[in-house]
Structure formats: C-alpha cells, structure tokens
Amino acid sequence: MAQIQQEKDRLDLAPKKFNMWIFIFTSFMFFAALTSAFIVYSGGKGHGLSINLPGVFLYSTATILVSSITMFLASRAAKRLQFGKQRLFLWSTIALGVAFFALQIYGWSLLVNMGVYFSNPNASQSFVYVFTGMHLLHIIAGLLLLANTLVGSYRNVPQVKNLYGMEMSGIFWHFIDIIWIYLYVFLILNQK
C-alpha cells in the first residue's frame, strides 16, 4: 500500500516539475531580453556603463557559487538518507543566499556613492540596477523554495516528496546561480 501511495505521489508531482521548467525558460528569456535591450541601447547611443563595477560583486559571485555547492551536497545527502547533513547543507545554502542578497544591496550602496543612480542620464548605468534587482527577486523566490524544502525535511515528509522538494529547489537554485554568472560576466564585459 505504501508503494502505491509513493507512485501516486510521484505522478502527482510530475506536472509541477514541468511548470518549473516553463518558469525557468521564461525567466531565461526575460534576462536575455534585458541584456538585448542593453545592447541595443548602448550600441545605438554609444553609451556603455562607463564605470567599473565595485569589487563586492565579485564576492557575491563567489558566494552564490559556493551556495550551489552546498545545494548539491544537500541533494546528495537527501538521496543517501542523511537527513542531518541535508538540513545542515540546506541551512548553509539559505545563509549563503542571504549573504548574496546583502552583498548585492551593499553593491548598490557603493554604486550610489560612485554617483551611479537608477535614474541617470546614462540609462546604461540604470541597467545595472534592473539586472541585479530582477535577479534579487529570483533570489527571494529561491530562498522561499529552499525554506519550504527545509521545513518539509523537519516534518519528515515521505522520501518521494523530500527528494522532489530537493530536486525542485536544486533546479531553481542552480538556475539563478547560472543567471547571475551570465549577468556578472555580461556587466564586466560592458564596463567601459
């Protein structure tokens, strides 16, 4: 009977995974559209960023890369039924996600100190706020998803649901990691 319920749970979760992939695809297209808009604007007007990004963005990049490692370790622990390690690595991923968020906000304050504002005559510089702001919204969604998965692990949900939560959280978290690397490299290449 328990095996029948697990199979039913697995089948009920499949459409939700498909929805996640659709959301990831649309988010990817959204960020591609933003970077395309930057290219069209800056190429047509001859405006680049005309700034050097503060070094804190490099630190935030390293932070989110480490968070992907901890997310991977949490998923691996869940598959091995090592629930204590799973929770530890989920907590670590959440902490690193919050640190990434804080570093990005600090990066904004450094940009303001450099005289780079959201409403700027050089709209190319405004794109930095748009890119990072939209990415931070995805970070918030990822943190909520991670928190939900963590709560499920403490509630001892059935293993099929635990693994599903880990898989969904992992897919989304790694996606926002990849998107940040894409945005960071894009901004670095367009600094001047």
Residues 188 and 113: their CA atoms lie apart, in Å, by 19
Q: Please, what is the end-to-end C-alpha distance for the chain in angstroms?
A: 64
| pLDDT in the model for residue 90 | 97
DSSP secondary structure, 68-110, as one string: HHHHHHHHHHHHTT-HHHHHHHHHHHHHHHHHHHHHHHHHHHH
Whether residue 26 lies inside any domain: the answer is no
Residue 154 belongs to what domain range?
A: 52-189
Q: CATH number, domain at 180?
A: 1.20.120.80
The domain tally of the chain equals 1
Structure-derived torsion over alpha carbons of residues 12, 10, 158, 65, reported in degrees to the nearest 10: -100
pLDDT at residue 3, rounded to an integer: 56
How much is the pTM?
0.87
Residue 139 has pLDDT above 80, yes or no: yes
